[in-house]
Copies of this chain bind each other. A is one copy, B any other.
Amino acid sequence: MSNDTKAALLDSAERIVRRTGFDGFSYADLAEDVGIRKASIHHHFPTKATLSVAMMQRYHAGLEQACHQIDQRHSTGSDRLIALIDLYRAALNGGASVCLCVALIAGRESLSGEALAEIRKFRAMMVGWIVSVFELARSDGTLRDIAEEALEAAAVLSLLEGAQLAARSEESVAPFDQATALLRSRVIA
């Protein structure tokens, strides 16, 4: 029962942050969204800092699982890369939001040290996984012109996050698709 409210608060906070940025959400917004009083939120999350850390941890776990699912469902490097692109594409909600990581980095000055650490951990996890995708692609030969995996992975993550910004700037997925088209075309048919 506590877990329900807690999860609802995290759901609401994540939705708002991804749409409006970290500084754009307040306990009042959350309260109205979830249907409890503002003060009650402090029972579950004493401060905004604790909430943001919990939010980032849950996001980290969720995306890690999403990557594992991709591994299970797709057996080639190229298929996994395409699935990753689609994952980031879906996070756009048609241009209405970005992924949590992008939303939080932009407002990083308001974040606690702990939250910043979570962001770094998350990015390291993602880069690590993308490296594994390129390693597989090198061995199964499903992607064109693979350079050093670490550099490929860093470039892919930055491109995906940047493409989300582009999409957000026009509130449409079109710029995301444009920006990621060449990455997609590296798949060997």
Binding site for B on A (CB under 8 A): 19-21, 23-24, 98, 101-103, 105-110, 116, 119-120, 123, 145, 147, 150-152, 154-155, 157-163, 165-166, 168-170, 175, 178-183, 185
List chain B residues, Cβ under 8 A from A108.
168-169
**CB-based contact A123/B160 at 8 Å:** no
**Contact between B169 and A109 (Cβ–Cβ < 8 Å)?**
no
Residues in B neighbouring A19, C-beta threshold 8 A? 109
Tell me how far the C-beta of A17 lies from the nearest C-beta in chain B, rounded to whole angstroms: 11
Contact residue among B145, B157, B170 (Cβ-Cβ distance under 8 Å from A179): B157
Q: In the assembly, how many copies of this chain are there?
A: 2
Complex: chain B residue closest to A103, CB-CB: B106
Instruction: Chain B residues near A145: list those with CB within 8 A.
Output: 145
Partner pick for A178 among B101, B154, B163, CB 8 A cutoff: B154
Are B157 and A166 in touch, CB under 8 angstroms? yes
A105 and B155 form a contact (CB under 8 A)? no
Beta-carbon nearest neighbor of A156 in chain B = B179
Among the listed B102, B105, B106, B182, which residue makes an inter-chain contact with A147, where contact means beta carbons less than 8 Å apart?
B182
Query: Is B155 a contact of A183 with CB atoms below 8 Å?
Result: yes
Give every chain B residue within 8 A of A178 (Cβ-Cβ): 150-151, 154
Contact partners of A165 in chain B: CB under 8 A: 102, 105-106, 158, 161-162, 165
